[in-house]
Structure 1
Amino acid sequence: MTAAPATTTDAPTPTPPTTAAPTARPTPVGRVYRFEVAKLLSQWRIRVLVAACWIAPALFVAGVSQQSSLPVDTLFGRWMDTTGWAGPLVTLGFSGTWALPLLTSVVAGDIFTSEDRLGTWRHLLVAVRSPGRIFAAKGLSSLTVLLAMIAGLAISSSVAGVLVVGNNPLIGLDGHTLSAGEAAVRVALAWACVLAPTLALAGLGLLGSVLFGRSPMGLLLPAVVAFAMQLALMLPLPVAVRLALPGSAFLSWNGLFTEPAQLGPILVGVVVSLVWAVAATALAYTVFVRRDFSGNGHDTAGRRAITIGLTPIAALLVLGIAAIAPFSSVTDSGITQAKVNRSVATAFAHLYRLQTTQLHRPAVTEQQLRTSAACNRGGGSRTPEGAGNDWRCVVSWRLPGSTAVGRAIYQLDLHPDGRFMADGDGPKQVNGYFLVRTPDGDAPNPLWQFDANVDLLSTPK
């Protein structure tokens, strides 16, 4: 008898629970920022530039301050052997014209271009997983390196000036004397003022680096724009146009060294520069996050660069002119006869008191001198306004207890930004010679040549 086969019931196989695949989180901005800073500082040219910014100004100030021939054609250059605070201002003038535009080009103008050259975008995106965080890290890292360079220029030139020449008072742009403490504060503020136009150039550098990819135009854009603005500012532009250019902030810090300070052009220049910086950076960010990274390289067509980069910047310039126009003039240079008369008379009165102290004569005040100036252009044949080297001034003053009126003649070379150099043309015992004979020996004559400034936004009295 055979047993019946056993019947088996197939039990259903349990399905393993499904778990959601882990989502990779983007790398924190702080970590990417540190990585980008390390990448920048690993480049030999960046290391050389940072070192140069911390060493070269000190060598320049120490060397020039000991020379018998000073750069008198440079603002504050004539005082480099008198006070240590003139050196950082001479360095600032050179930096605003040449150094900072070039440094900005090398740092900000190459921050994105280098990835296009090396074809490393896809690797970076896989690691970070966020174009926005990459842009933020690269922008902050370039800003960090630029700030380190600017700090080096300011600190090294100041330390060298104080150590080599001394912590002495500084003669301002209206002839009044600033104490060593006041000079230190205003020098620091002057360097702070150029941060805003440097940020504007850095924003343009980021925009050019994003727009032009591997093309060298991205690297050159900040320098080209800066030098174009410098050339424009050398022209007799209307005040509204001049102040609507961010490059004006590289020059308007001069107003910090008058009493009272000429703050109008400074504040306008800083605000305009910051607006340009924000606008250019926002444009760069918009283009970057919308970019296709599937290729090995990136080169933007010229038409797109014009529509995305040039057109908004041109519109920003027009809007800036329109915003400044109600507070200035869209046709005038801001340099009038009344302003020149007042600036020359004020500076002469302050410097006359300084010469009086040198000669150990009885002290006088500006009120007692009752100084006035009568200035004209071309011997009265030209309209007395605007920049030019044909200004001629006759300064008059009275000494206490005397009925005689003293007179001195000056030839002026007046720049479009309002700064001028007055060159004494007699009499010899007042301003006709570069030395003055004092009881302590010959000393530089403060009335022979002096620099002063016309406030382009002030209202003539």
Structure 2
Amino acid sequence: MTAATPAQDNVAAPRRVPVRRGYRFEVVKLVSQWRIRLLVLVCWVAPALFVAAVSRQSSLPVDTLFGRWMHATGWAGPLVMLGFAGSWALPLVTSMVAGDVFAAEDRLGTWRHLLVAVRSPRRIFVAKALASLTVILVLVAGLVVSSTAGGLLTVGNHPLVGLDGHVLTASDASGKVLLAWVCVLAPTLALSAIGLLGSVALGRSPMGLLLPALVALAMQLAQMLPLPVAVRLALPGYAFISWNGLFTGPQQLEPLLIGIVVSLVWALAATGLAYLLFVRRDFTNLTADGAGRRALTVGALPLLGLGVATVALITAATPASGSGITQDKVQRSVATAFAHLYVVQTAELNRPAVTEAQLRTTSACDKGSVRVDAEGPGNDWRCVVSWHLPGIAATGQAIYQLDVTADGRFVADGDGPKEVNGYFLLHTPTGDGPNPLWQFDANVQLLKASSK
């Protein structure tokens, strides 16, 4: 047995690099890449230019939620951008950042040097995950600030017409626009976590980079299908579209809250799986990049099981069944939106004021032919809206053709009479303005139990 020499006693054990230093290093590595710098420039400049250009055009994106109000208020611009971001921009951002943060080390062969410098796979994972999250949040902030600035500078800080026709003050609209962007951070985190998992599990394969975008595309396609409500809500990207419940009266918060919770659960699960795969990886084998049957099994099967469990839980906890779109729900939603917008139109035309209670608005809707049950999505809905004016015995009626999508949103297109909904523009005392009853958007409450 040999005794330790004084020189050996004085040798300090190598210390691991703190997460804080590793985090700063990873942030610098990310922002030094040309594609990340290009993304930052695009996210902070392009939305303002897009909103300003569209708001000045004579034709508006009426097929986009709140697109027809971009002439009227600057708060419509960031909501139009939010709809685009949820479908395309945010999946691309998460793919470019989180989907490549681990795979880049495999392509460059720098894992050995990084491990020697940091001396802790766990701290490397935490630093990379936090760095990618920081960059993604900066990019999302750019989309919000830029689109809002473009709308307000071009159109102005004016009231916004909500999804069901009720008018939001400028201050109320600003708070709800910001809240809507905050809510979509949850599905963005879920896609980011899936990107981390793909980057770890697939190594240098380009599929890791594409995984968040492919998952987002698959979820969009699923939302277009006539799936049951429970399956639709169980998808981690549902909060990308359920934020529109903030702009109804009363607010439809239940689908939004479910979508946020589901997205956060998916984010935690995918991040935990990515961490488990990363810390168990054999970094001594320079030819192994983490990809393999075990990595795919450990990464994919638990998420599939989570999806099945979420569907079962939501099915048991929610009152709606099937598509959630029924005849009485559509009729109530159309009547409510029409009453709100009729009051708005009355004020624009400077007619005697009328309240929604005085109108006593009702609607009768059918779908297709009498042989087809009036339920489910489709573009063959037809509604006849009836209302009453004070002091007038005759009942007013208007016809609308509805295109109801699988997520409950519908566009009502006026089909007469021309004095009510026949023209896009109204001749008001202050000039021509958009006719709120010509075409309007509204939402069916999918989770509300039918009154049949």
Asked if these proteins are the same fold (TM beyond 0.5), I'd say yes
User: Equivalent residue for 2:23?
Assistant: 33
Shift of 1:301: 4.7
How many angstroms apart in 2 are the aligned matches of 1:241 and 1:261? Answer: 22
Instruction: Say yes or no: does 1:104 pair with 2:64.
Output: no
Tell me the residue number matched to 1:347.
337
Gaps of 5+ in 2: none
Secondary structure, aligned partner of 1:421: strand
The superposition leaves residues 140-195 of structure 1 with CA deviations (integer Å, 9 ceiling, x where unpaired) of: 00000000000000111001101110000000011000000000000001101110
Mapped to 1, the partners of 2:215 and 2:74 lie a distance apart of 33
Unaligned runs of 5+ in 1: 1-13
User: Aligned partners of 1:298, 1:150: CA distance in 2, in Å?
Assistant: 34
Asked if 1:294 corresponds to 2:263, the answer is: no
SS of aligned partner of 1:247: coil
Q: CA RMSD in A?
A: 1.4
In structure 2, what is the Cα distance between the partners aligned to 1:316 and 1:20?
A: 52
Q: How far apart, in 1, do the equivalents of 2:431 and 2:78 lie?
A: 29
Following the alignment from structure 1 to structure 2, what is the Cα–Cα distance between the partners of residues 217 and 138? 19
Q: Deviation of residue 15 (structure 1)?
A: 9.2
Question: 1:160, 1:216 → 2: CA distance?
Answer: 36
Maintained 8 Å contact 1:116/1:296: no
TM-score, normalization by structure 2? 0.97
Distance 1:369 1:307, change over 3 A: same
Runs of 4+ off more than 4 Å: 14-18
In the TM superposition, residue 16 of structure 1 has moved relative to its aligned partner by 5.5
Structure 1 partner of 2:323: 333
1:206 matched to 2:193? The reply is: no
Equivalent position of 1:388 in the other structure: 378
User: SS at the partner of 1:392?
Assistant: strand
Cα pair 2:201 2:292 within 8 Å, conserved: no
| Partner SS state of residue 277, structure 1 | helix
- 1:426-456 Cα deviation digits (max 9, x unpaired): 0010111212222333322110000111111
Structure 1 residue corresponding to 2:35, chosen from 20, 32, 45? 45
2:85 is equivalent to residue 95 of structure 1: yes
1:128-167 equivalence runs, <5 A: 128-167=118-157
Q: Partners of 1:304 and 1:244 in 2: how far apart?
A: 26
Cα deviations across residues 246-294 of structure 1 (Å, max 9, x unaligned)? 1111000010000111001000000000000000000000000010111
State the alpha-carbon separation in 1 of the partners of residues 284 and 163 from structure 2.
Answer: 57
Could you list the per-position Cα deviations for residues 397-429 of structure 1 after superposition, in whole angstroms to 9, with x for gaps in the alignment? Answer: 001122211100000000111110000000010
**2:310 paired residue among 320, 325, 342:** 320
2:145 maps to 1:185 = no
- C-alpha displacement of 1:382: 1.3
Q: Secondary structure at the match of 1:426?
A: coil
Which residue type is aligned with residue 356 of structure 1?
Answer: T
The yes-or-no answer on 1:283 pairing with 2:273 is yes
Contact 1:88 1:187 in 2 (8 A): yes
Give the count of matched residue pairs: 448
Q: Could you say which residue in structure 1 is the equivalent of 2:398?
A: 408
Larger radius of gyration: 1
How far, CA to CA, are the matches of 2:30 and 2:290 in structure 1? 24
* Residue 436 (structure 2) aligns with: 446
- CA spacing shift, 1:147–1:297, aligned 2, 3 Å: farther
- Distance in 2 (alpha carbons) for counterparts of 1:301 and 1:169: 53
Q: Contact 1:213/1:297 (CA < 8 Å) preserved in 2?
A: no
Question: Aligned letter for 1:239?
Answer: V
TM-fit CA distance, 1:330: 8.1
Paired residue secondary structure (2:237): helix
Partner SS, residue 128 of structure 2: helix
Scaled by the length of structure 1, the TM-score of the pair is: 0.95
- Following the alignment from structure 2 to structure 1, what is the Cα–Cα distance between the partners of residues 149 and 426? 30
Aligned to 1:70: 60
Give the counterpart of 1:363 among 346, 350, 353. 353
Aligned twin of 1:195: 185
CA distance in 1, matches of 2:35, 2:199: 18
